[in-house]
Chains A and B, each alone.
Chain A
Amino acid sequence: QTVVTQEPSFSVSPGGTVTLTCGLTSGSVSTSYYPSWYQQTPGQAPRTLIYSTNTRSSGVPDRFSGSIVGNKAALTITGAQADDESDYYCVLYMGSGIYVFGTGTKVTVL
């Protein structure tokens, strides 16, 4: 069974930079997995930040960026702000219309 891994938690200082990753327990993540990233705060629907590896969704500030780093997908937040404190999820496309979500990363800004 495919498991998509994310760091359980990360802490970043206001104004700092943090890179979250999204990997596979077996194999490497490439652009062929069309990695995408979502931000979710308690009680709210997910908000799309990045799709297809590095395309920012409409209205998303450019301090959020997506890439492939080594064998994982990555979401980098540059110049972290207090309202970036959220849960972040990645999802990978496995082919044939099938997706698998990552386990999620809780980001604290302090």
Chain B
Amino acid sequence: EVQLVQSGAEVKKPGESLRISCKGSGYTFSSFWIAWVRQMPGKGLEWMGIIYPYDSDTRYNPSFQGQVTISADKSIRTAYLQWSSLKASDTAIYYCARPPNTSSARGGMDVWGQGTTVTVSS
């Protein structure tokens, strides 16, 4: 079974750093792009960026460029989303997701992680 399993909920203070993870199983992890999607409380889905674990080619939504870092370690089948200095406005649920086709970023997202809730509060 193809699965994306995300790390658990986090509660952080403003200014702290954080890295959340998304581990793939049931498929050749390095051959599929992985995207990150944000959902702020009561709001819609926002596409943040996408990475190709094979060579770490990464593309960002301009709105998130410089605010977060997307990375991947294909040896442990895991993608990451990290912040160096969190703000209260980063409070959201973050999902990872995978497009349907090998080596292509096109086609939408077919498989989703369960989501990681990040709460940033002083």
Interface residues, chain A, with chain B CB atoms under 8 Å away: 34-36, 38, 40, 45-48, 50-52, 55, 57, 87, 89, 91, 93, 96-104
Contact = CB atoms under 8 A, between A and B. Distances in A.
B113 A51 contact: no
A101 B45 contact: yes
A34 B108 contact: yes
Given A46-B112, A93-B108, A104-B45, 17 more contacts: A34-B106, A35-B108, A45-B112, A45-B113, A50-B108, A51-B99, A52-B108, A93-B106, A96-B59, A97-B57, A97-B59, A98-B47, A98-B61, A99-B47, A101-B46, A102-B44, A104-B44
A51 B101 CA distance: 11
Interface string B92-112: 000101011000011111111
30 contacts: A34-B107, A34-B108, A36-B108, A38-B109, A45-B95, A45-B113, A45-B115, A46-B37, A46-B45, A46-B97, A48-B112, A50-B108, A51-B107, A52-B107, A52-B108, A57-B100, A91-B47, A91-B108, A91-B109, A93-B106, A97-B33, A97-B50, A98-B61, A99-B50, A99-B108, A101-B37, A101-B44, A101-B45, A103-B44, A104-B45
B114 interface: yes
Q: Which interface class (under 10, 10 to 19, 20 to 34, 35 or more) fits B?
A: 20 to 34
Contacts of B107: 34, 36, 51-52, 93
A51 B109 contact: yes
A100 B49 CA distance: 10
B79 interface: no
B114 A55 contact: no
Nearest to B97: A46
Contacts of B50: 97, 99
Contacts of B109: 36, 38, 46, 48, 51, 91
Contacts of A103: 44
Contacts of B46: 101
